[in-house]
């Protein structure tokens, strides 16, 4: 029981890596199975509604989509083992190259939104802690979660067009995108996680504030600023941050939706088309990159949390 | 564990009845009556919410849609909550052991494959349909709150209160049901309650794959989405259903807070 | 508390995690502002420009860009007349089964590295042969246009022949097309931007380059850069013919949300945008409907700054039936029971003309057999009585999808047919699935629109109604021996007037057999800044932007 906590950090890291690899393999297998049942036929998609049945059958043979599923999966795994994500069935472009650029765009948006959400939840809780009169502000954040992302996204964009008629809203794909343009979709994507994180942080802080050692710290005459940062925050940090890591996945989903509204050339814009076209290599590529990102993030955060809060690793073995 | 305050059942009963009441109110005004001569009427005495492109009464459609969406989303949320408490609690209690590994693995899997496409794929194999879609969503949506539950359980397990319970010979099930799960309820319920508008919106995504409600059945998500494409000409098409959604979500959130406040909040201080 | 002792270091690490966002954002990158936006025209695209490779293009947004970069042998001008482009002249055998093209001399491809020095070369008959062979290759989207026409395509597609036997280069600037059967309308098969000419050197760069970062043609504009959301072109300085227009830089900007597109137009950052039906009421004057000459009246507050025109394009919107599953009386009843005037006003809001048959009006002088609606409730009820359909117990399943307002149309038809006593269940699916089910015959009725690649009546009719085309593109599984033989006979008729008259007879028969209830032909409505001159779209929906003159001073962007 003690072994997990007592094991050297390196061994634990290796173990995490093995687990992550296993999970990734699982994701690949499950998503392959899932998407192979999607309706549609890439050969028909390539040739369109006018092509003859023979032409489509010919192409299916060339593409290999007429092969049994296990064989297709084995071929795919073989290529993956050589670190080759393959090519799009629909138009032959390289999946790896396509995804690198797009994922970077989505990650920009997602992480920016994540930072905004964390910042808002921190700032509001600090504000309410220092000046209880600001409590209505806390309730205000909840407004962010009353409409679906696509609705707040479109309304925010239209409002922006009215308020700042001179600032182009778009052109996210080109090199001259202004930095500030990212803020609008990111803020919309941050609405939901900001509300949730503010709520969770507030709840945790109230609990912690009631505990004996915080009351003891307060009794020593530490100022509220110091009390918040030095005593309260460290206690609640891990659960707050784990909520953050948790929310990132949802933030990314929201970011995908916003990409469609704001025409941002990220993964989201690609995803819908890929599913409708049943472009399996591209789809698997998206899942794989997405999964690697989140699995990496969660391993990293686990390691970090262990370190931030040594109780966790001991506890985990109990 | 204390018995729940009987007064708490009132809002629960209200919420259970609301979908049916809303749908009935909508049907009374006929949400399906097409009359193109009355297309695009702005809100007025005869049509408080205005009319849509086919001249249908938007109030009727919104009420009906609100009831329908509330019904299926509520089912899905309850399902997710039960699964999250069960699986998240079990994982948290068995942290580090194989059970936790298996559950954690499943959660990560659900997390890393975009949610909606798992739903799409499953629904393609099963029969599509709105109710079924939300059951599938409920069966997947437990992953996020389950992580919160697991984290809370792990955190609480180390407290002196729980250690004392253990020392007194409480069984793991007792500790889970009397102490750990009630205290994990808040974050789980909150994360799901906050997600209600998004869950209503997911129907839009599903309808692109033909897996949502078949037209002309209105859902709240679809009404808002379709209305937004005509926002600058017919603002009422999107803003009135969005307003209803806002009111609905706000009351769900308010009730959740009300029900949970004082009921599960007192911390088992060390 | 032990957690506070190592505090600062831990928080530094947390920050590190957070700055990952900063890294990614930095890579998303801001670069230098583009050079002076003089004589720039920004055209809005409603959806992603997925590719610039003609054989892969499946949607109008990329075809409109392809039409600026590439040119074919012939095309359609602003009045939809035939225009010689890379073909200087042509001739055909007496039986219309061999066509010989003289390729225009002195036309050069856009300057590009793929050619080595001197970075360009003249277009020859070999390029035409290469391009057409690629256009009918097994994975080419537009291959269906020539698959049943050009000799040797079937063998080539099946992999039994190394090339297409029907294409012969007979001289450096002469190429000959041999057809499987006579076809007087062959030229009208190849007027769309799909059938254009591109150099082998560019194609050989592979699918990651050609059509994505590189597109080399002979057109009036050449590619500067492309992403899925923005394509930048500039004027081709070496264009082979004199140009009236003065656009130096041409940008296609994708804005998927129609409301944002409108807001960008109003804010002056778009020069031209197309109007989908959803925006028609927002933009047009409700009191003054679109006129038949193409002028569309804008709302007074927009009319000062903008102008709008509606261009006829070759398409047909309809609800199709599976003839094997719905009997002819029921199909007729539905076709007669639909009020097309209501459909056109409620669904397209002036963006379409009523069409009770499928071949677009005005195509090579063609006049449809029924100029107005065929709506007749009396006859519809009579047909319904003769049908095996039992209104009390039977229901029809209608498939709709996310494109062309199909779901709204489906809902209106459902209401109209309910008045007739026919109950309709609507099922919404994604477009590809609807097509899939139509082909498999797994449907009773479906809402669909066809964009016609052919700019002549005969190939359109033959392609979708000849029984040899079951199940694709004869989706309706429609077989009428009389129509088959009439269509076969039409392939030998060279005289335009006779051909039009015979085609009209065929259409009359088809409307009577009702494999579909044809509803309307949508028009391409575009809004542009009022100080532009020469804005025109041809029947393929291709904008002829090389003719556009911008106002003095600025372009679409301020």
Cα–Cα distance list, C175 to A181, B39, C91, C131, C219 (Å): 52, 57, 11, 12, 20
Are C225 and C350 in the same domain? no
Task: Sort out which chain A residues have CB atoms less than 8 A from B147's CB and list them.
Answer: 242, 246
Give the chain A residue whose CA is nearest to the CA of C263: A161
- Residue spans of the domains in chain B: they are 6-27+59-261
- The full length of chain C comes to 558
Do the Cβ atoms of C82 and C74 come closer than 8 Å? yes
Tens-digit pLDDT profile for residues A223-263:
888 888 888 888 888 878 877 887 888 888 888 889 888 88
Task: Sort out which chain A residues have CB atoms less than 8 A from B227's CB and list them.
Answer: none
Q: Which chains touch A (3 or more CB pairs under 8 A)?
A: B, C
Q: Kind of pairing, strands C445-451 and C352-354?
A: unpaired
Are C78 and C207 in the same domain? yes
Q: Does residue A107 belong to the interface with chain C, where contact is any CB pair within 8 Å?
A: yes
Q: How far is B39 from chain A (nearest CA, A)?
A: 23
Q: Tell me the C-alpha distance between B260 and C428, whole Å.
A: 41
Mean pLDDT of B234-242: 92
Tens-digit pLDDT profile for residues A105-142:
888 899 999 999 999 999 999 999 888 888 888 878 87
More confident site: C323 or A193: C323
Residue C1 has pLDDT above 60, yes or no: no
Residue B2 has pLDDT above 70, yes or no: no
Angle at B256 between CA B255 and CA B260, to 5 degrees: 115
Residue at which a domain ends, from C235, C266, C293:
C235
Do C439 and A49 make contact, defined as CB atoms within 8 angstroms?
yes
pLDDT at residue B86, rounded to an integer: 92
Q: Tell me the C-alpha distance between A234 and C182, whole Å.
A: 84
pLDDT at residue C99, rounded to an integer: 97
- Window from A147-156, A231-240, C438-447, C542-551 with minimum mean pLDDT: A231-240
Nearest to C492 by CA among C188, C182, C187: C182
Looking at chain A from residue 116 to 155, which residues have their Cβ under 8 Å from any Cβ of chain C? 118, 154
Nearest to B133 by CA among B197, B184, B216, B200: B200
pLDDT at residue B267, rounded to an integer: 41
- When scoring C40, C59, C139 by the number of chain A Cβ atoms within 10 A, the one with the most, hence best to mutate, is C139
More confident site: A216 or C502: C502
Q: Given C412, C429, C433, which is nearest B54 (Cβ)? A: C412
Residue B177 has pLDDT above 90, yes or no: no
Q: Tell me the C-alpha distance between C236 and C215, whole Å.
A: 13
Residue B113 has pLDDT above 90, yes or no: no
Greatest CA separation for chain A: 85
The verdict on residue C325 lying in a domain is yes
Task: Sort out which chain A residues have CB atoms less than 8 A from B260's CB and list them.
Answer: none
For residue B168, the tally of other CB atoms under 10 A from its CB is 9
Q: Does residue A249 belong to the interface with chain B, where contact is any CB pair within 8 Å?
A: yes
Looking at chain B from residue 168 to 227, which residues have their Cβ under 8 Å from any Cβ of chain A? 186-187, 190-191, 194-195, 197-198, 200-201, 204, 208-209, 221, 224-225
Site of tokens 């000459």: C293
pLDDT at residue A305, rounded to an integer: 77
Angle at C218 between CA C215 and CA C223, to 5 degrees: 35
Q: Tell me the C-alpha distance between B156 and B268, whole Å.
A: 9
Mean pLDDT of C391-410: 92
φ, ψ for residue C288, nearest 5 deg: -125, 95
pLDDT at residue C552, rounded to an integer: 62
Site of tokens 């694709």: C472
Q: What integer best gives the mean pLDDT of chain B? A: 84
- When scoring B80, B93, B100, B108 by the number of chain A Cβ atoms within 10 A, the one with the most, hence best to mutate, is B108
φ, ψ for residue A223, nearest 5 deg: -65, 160
Are C319 and C227 in the same domain? no
Sign of the alpha-carbon torsion through A156, A161, A166, A167: positive
* Percent of chain C topping pLDDT 90: 72
Q: Tell me the C-alpha distance between C85 and C87, whole Å.
A: 5
Cα–Cα distance list, A7 to A15, A22, A317 (Å): 11, 21, 12
Residue at which a domain ends, from C235, C253, C284:
C235
CATH annotation of B6-27+59-261? 1.10.3720.10
Cα within 13 Å of Cα(C381), Cβ side: 6
Q: Which residues contact C184 (CB under 8 A, 6 or more apart)?
A: C92, C96, C458, C491, C492, C493, C494, C499
For residue A204, the tally of other CB atoms under 10 A from its CB is 23
pLDDT at residue A173, rounded to an integer: 61
- Residue spans of the domains in chain A: they are 1-90+281-318, 108-278
Cα–Cα distance list, C92 to C95, C183, C186, C362 (Å): 8, 10, 10, 25
Q: Does residue A271 belong to the interface with chain B, where contact is any CB pair within 8 Å?
A: yes
> Which string of DSSP letters, residue by residue, matches A112-136?
HHHHHHHHHHHHHHHHHHH-GGGHH
CATH annotation of A108-278? 1.10.3720
Do the Cβ atoms of C314 and C455 come closer than 8 Å? yes
- Window from B45-59, B176-190, C351-365 with minimum mean pLDDT: B176-190
Tens-digit pLDDT profile for residues C461-518:
999 999 999 988 899 999 999 999 999 999 889 899 999 999 999 999 999 999 999 9
Q: Which chains touch C (3 or more CB pairs under 8 A)?
A: A, B
DSSP letter, residue B214: P
Task: Determine the distance from the C-alpha atom of residue A118 to the mean position of all C-alpha atoms in its chain, rounded to a whole number.
Answer: 14
> Which residues form the domain of C468?
315-522
Are C319 and C226 in the same domain? no
The CATH number that applies at residue C120 is 3.90.76.10
Q: Alpha helix (H) ranges present in chain A?
A: 2-6, 9-36, 42-47, 53-63, 69-81, 95-130, 135-141, 149-163, 183-210, 212-219, 224-226, 233-262, 267-277, 280-308, 311-316
pLDDT at residue C117, rounded to an integer: 85
- When scoring C284, C411, C419 by the number of chain B Cβ atoms within 10 A, the one with the most, hence best to mutate, is C411
3-state secondary structure C241-253: CCCCCCCCEEEEE
Q: Given A44, A52, A162, which is nearest C436 (Cβ)? A: A44
Nearest to B18 by CA among B186, B257, B258, B247: B247
Site of tokens 């029971």: C337
Q: Tell me the C-alpha distance between C197 and C66, whole Å.
A: 11
Q: How far apart are the first and last CA of chain B?
A: 18
Do A93 and C32 make contact, defined as CB atoms within 8 angstroms?
no
Q: Tell me the C-alpha distance between C207 and A46, whole Å.
A: 14
The verdict on residue C18 lying in a domain is yes
The burial of B106, by beta-carbon neighbours within 10 Å (0-12 exposed, 13-18 middle, 19 or more buried), is given as middle
Residue C86 has pLDDT above 50, yes or no: yes
Greatest CA separation for chain C: 99
Are C82 and C210 in the same domain? yes
Do the Cβ atoms of A299 and A17 come closer than 8 Å? yes
Do A173 and C228 make contact, defined as CB atoms within 8 angstroms?
yes
Mean pLDDT of A172-176: 61
The two three-digit tokens of residue C557, written as one number: 């962007």
Residue B145 has pLDDT above 60, yes or no: yes
For residue C464, the tally of other CB atoms under 10 A from its CB is 23
Counts for chain C of helices (H) and strands (E), in that order: 18, 18
- Work out how many domains chain C is built from and give that number: 2
Are C81 and C193 in the same domain? yes
DSSP letter, residue C396: E
Do B204 and A147 make contact, defined as CB atoms within 8 angstroms?
no
Q: Given B121, B209, B270, which is nearest A37 (Cβ)? A: B121
- Return the SS3 of C274: strand
Looking at chain B from residue 28 to 87, which residues have their Cβ under 8 Å from any Cβ of chain A? none
Do C48 and A269 make contact, defined as CB atoms within 8 angstroms?
yes
Q: Does residue B258 belong to the interface with chain A, where contact is any CB pair within 8 Å?
A: no
Task: Sort out which chain B residues have CB atoms less than 8 A from A272's CB and list them.
Answer: 208
Q: Which residues contact C141 (CB under 8 A, 6 or more apart)?
A: A46, A47, A48, A51, C55, C56, C57, C58, C194
Do C29 and A273 make contact, defined as CB atoms within 8 angstroms?
no
More confident site: C406 or C294: C406
Q: Does residue B96 belong to the interface with chain C, where contact is any CB pair within 8 Å?
A: no
Site of tokens 């969770």: A200
pLDDT at residue A309, rounded to an integer: 66
Cα–Cα distance list, B167 to B91, B154, B160, B161, B171 (Å): 21, 17, 10, 10, 10
Q: Given C3, C14, C232, which is nearest A309 (Cβ)? A: C3
Q: What integer best gives the mean pLDDT of chain C? A: 88
Looking at chain C from residue 93 to 112, which residues have their Cβ under 8 Å from any Cβ of chain B? none
- Window from A54-68, B97-111, C420-434, C543-557 with minimum mean pLDDT: C543-557
For residue C365, the tally of other CB atoms under 10 A from its CB is 11
Q: If pLDDT is split at 50, 70 and 90, which confidence band does A143 have?
A: confident
Task: Sort out which chain C residues have CB atoms less than 8 A from A263's CB and list them.
Answer: 229, 254-257, 260
Q: Which residues contact B82 (CB under 8 A, 6 or more apart)?
A: none
Q: What integer best gives the mean pLDDT of chain A? A: 82
Tens-digit pLDDT profile for residues C250-285:
999 999 888 889 988 988 889 999 998 888 888 888
The two three-digit tokens of residue B82, written as one number: 């039960």
More confident site: B13 or C331: C331
Do A276 and C229 make contact, defined as CB atoms within 8 angstroms?
no
Q: How far is A76 from chain B (nearest CA, A)?
A: 18
- Return the SS3 of C111: coil
> Which string of DSSP letters, residue by residue, matches C80-100?
S-EEESSEEEEEE-TTS-EEE
pLDDT at residue C330, rounded to an integer: 97
> Which string of DSSP letters, residue by residue, matches A226-283?
HIIIIIIHHHHHHHHHHHHHHHHHHHHHHHHHHHHHHT--SHHHHHHHHHHHT-HHHH
pLDDT at residue B165, rounded to an integer: 85
Q: Given C282, C345, C412, which is nearest B232 (Cβ)? A: C282
């Amino acid at each position: 029981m003690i072994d997990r906590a007592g094991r050297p950090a390196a061994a634990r890291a290796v173990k995490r890596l093995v687990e992550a690899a296993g999970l990734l393999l699982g994701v690949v297998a499950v998503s392959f199975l899932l998407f192979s049942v999607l309706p549609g036929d890439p050969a028909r998609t390539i040739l369109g509604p006018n092509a003859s049945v023979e032409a489509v059958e010919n192409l299916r043979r060339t593409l290999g989509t007429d092969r049994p599923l296990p064989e297709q999966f084995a071929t795919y795994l073989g290529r993956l083992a050589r670190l080759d994500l393959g090519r799009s069935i629909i138009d032959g472009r390289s999946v790896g190259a396509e995804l690198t650029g797009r994922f970077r765009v989505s990650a920009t948006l997602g992480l920016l939104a994540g930072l905004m959400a964390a910042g808002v939840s921190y700032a509001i809780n600090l504000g309410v802690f220092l000046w209880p009169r600001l409590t209505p502000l806390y309730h205000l954040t909840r407004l962010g979660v009353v409409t679906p992302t696509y609705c707040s996204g479109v309304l925010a964009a239209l409002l922006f067009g009215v308020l700042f008629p001179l600032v182009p809203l778009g052109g996210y794909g080109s090199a001259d995108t202004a930095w500030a343009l990212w803020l609008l979709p990111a803020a919309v994507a941050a609405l939901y996680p900001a509300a949730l994180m503010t709520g969770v942080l507030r709840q945790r802080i109230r609990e912690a504030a009631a505990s004996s050692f915080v009351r003891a710290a307060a009794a020593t005459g530490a100022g509220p600023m110091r009390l918040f940062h030095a005593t309260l925050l460290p206690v609640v940090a891990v659960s707050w941050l784990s909520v953050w890591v948790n929310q990132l996945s949802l933030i990314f989903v929201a970011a995908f939706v916003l990409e469609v509204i704001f025409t941002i050339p990220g993964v989201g814009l690609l995803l819908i088309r890929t599913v409708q076209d049943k472009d399996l290599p591209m789809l698997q590529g998206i899942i794989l990159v997405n999964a690697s990102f989140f699995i990496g993030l969660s391993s990293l955060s686990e390691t970090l949390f262990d370190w931030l809060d040594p109780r966790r690793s001991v506890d985990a073995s109990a | 564990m204390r018995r729940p305050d009987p007064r708490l059942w009132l809002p629960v009963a209200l919420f259970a009845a609301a979908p049916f009441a809303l749908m009935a109110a909508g049907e009374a005004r006929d949400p399906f009556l097409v009359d193109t001569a009355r297309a695009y009427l702005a809100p007025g005495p005869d049509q408080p919410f205005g009319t849509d492109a086919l001249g249908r009464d938007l109030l009727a459609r919104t009420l009906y849609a609100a009831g329908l969406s509330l019904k299926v989303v509520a089912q899905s949320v309850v399902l997710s909550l039960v699964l999250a408490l069960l699986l998240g609690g079990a994982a948290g209690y068995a942290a580090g052991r194989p059970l936790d590994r298996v559950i954690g693995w499943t959660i990560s899997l659900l997390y890393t494959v975009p949610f909606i496409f798992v739903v799409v794929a499953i629904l393609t194999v099963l029969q599509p349909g709105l109710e079924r879609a939300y059951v599938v969503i409920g069966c997947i949506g437990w992953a996020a709150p389950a992580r919160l539950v697991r984290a809370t359980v792990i955190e609480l397990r180390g407290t002196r209160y729980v250690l004392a319970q253990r020392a007194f010979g409480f069984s793991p099930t007792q500790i889970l049901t009397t102490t750990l799960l009630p205290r994990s309820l808040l974050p789980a319920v909150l994360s799901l309650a906050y997600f209600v508008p998004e869950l209503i919106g997911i129907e839009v995504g599903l309808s692109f794959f033909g897996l949502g409600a078949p037209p002309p059945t209105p859902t709240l998500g679809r009404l808002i989405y379709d209305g937004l494409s005509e926002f600058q000409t017919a603002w009422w098409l999107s803003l009135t259903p969005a307003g209803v959604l806002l009111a609905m979500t706000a009351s769900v959130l308010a009730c959740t807070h009300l029900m949970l406040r004082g009921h599960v909040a007192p911390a088992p201080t060390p | 508390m032990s957690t506070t002792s190592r505090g600062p270091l831990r928080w530094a690490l947390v920050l590190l995690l957070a700055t990952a966002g900063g890294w990614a954002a930095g890579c998303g990158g801001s670069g230098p502002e583009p050079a002076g936006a003089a004589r720039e025209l920004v055209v809005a695209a409603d959806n992603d420009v997925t590719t610039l490779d003609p054989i892969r293009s499946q949607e109008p947004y990329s075809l409109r860009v392809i039409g600026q970069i590439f040119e074919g042998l012939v095309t359609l001008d602003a009045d939809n007349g035939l225009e010689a482009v890379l073909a200087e002249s042509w001739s055909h055998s007496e039986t219309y089964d061999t066509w010989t093209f003289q390729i225009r001399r002195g036309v050069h491809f856009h300057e590009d590295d793929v050619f080595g020095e001197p970075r360009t070369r003249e277009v020859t008959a070999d390029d035409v042969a290469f391009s057409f062979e690629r256009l009918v290759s097994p994975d080419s989207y537009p291959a269906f246009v020539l698959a049943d026409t050009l000799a040797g395509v079937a063998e080539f597609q099946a992999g039994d022949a190394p090339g297409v036997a029907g294409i012969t280069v007979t001289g450096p600037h002469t190429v000959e097309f041999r057809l499987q059967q006579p076809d007087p309308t062959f030229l009208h098969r190849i007027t769309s931007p799909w059938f254009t000419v591109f150099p082998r050197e560019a194609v050989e760069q592979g699918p990651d380059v050609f059509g994505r970062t590189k597109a080399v043609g002979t057109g009036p504009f050449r590619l500067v850069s492309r992403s899925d959301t923005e394509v930048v072109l500039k004027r081709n300085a070496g264009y082979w013919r004199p140009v009236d227009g003065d656009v130096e830089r041409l940008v296609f900007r994708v804005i998927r949300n129609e409301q944002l597109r409108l807001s960008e137009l109003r804010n002056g950052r778009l020069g031209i945008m197309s109007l989908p039906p959803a925006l028609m009421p927002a933009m047009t004057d409700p009191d003054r409907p679109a006129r038949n000459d193409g002028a569309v009246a804008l709302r007074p507050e927009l009319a000062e700054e903008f102008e709008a025109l509606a261009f006829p394009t070759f398409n047909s919107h309809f609800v199709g039936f599976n003839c094997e599953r719905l009997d002819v009386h029921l199909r007729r009843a539905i076709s007669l029971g639909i009020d097309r005037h209501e459909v056109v006003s409620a669904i397209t809001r002036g963006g379409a003309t009523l069409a009770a048959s499928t071949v677009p009006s005005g195509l090579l002088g063609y006049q449809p057999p029924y100029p107005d609606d065929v709506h007749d409730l009396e006859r519809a009820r009579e047909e319904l009585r003769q049908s095996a359909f039992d209104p009390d117990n039977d229901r029809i399943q209608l498939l709709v999808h996310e494109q062309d307002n199909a779901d709204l149309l489906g809902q209106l038809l459902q209401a109209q047919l309910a008045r007739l006593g026919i109950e309709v269940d609507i099922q919404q699916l994604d477009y590809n699935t609807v097509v899939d089910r139509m082909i498999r015959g797994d449907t009773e009725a479906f809402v669909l629109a066809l964009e016609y690649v052919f700019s002549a009546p005969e190939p359109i009719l033959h392609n979708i109604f000849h029984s040899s085309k079951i199940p694709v593109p004869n989706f309706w599984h429609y077989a009428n021996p009389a129509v088959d033989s009439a269509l076969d006979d039409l392939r030998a008729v060279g005289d335009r007037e006779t051909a039009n008259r015979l085609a009209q007879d065929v259409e009359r028969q088809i409307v009577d057999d009702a494999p579909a209830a044809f509803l309307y032909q949508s028009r391409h409505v575009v809004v542009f800044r009022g100080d532009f001159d020469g804005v025109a779209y041809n029947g393929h929906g291709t904008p002829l932007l090389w003719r556009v003159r911008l106002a003095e001073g600025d372009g679409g962007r301020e």
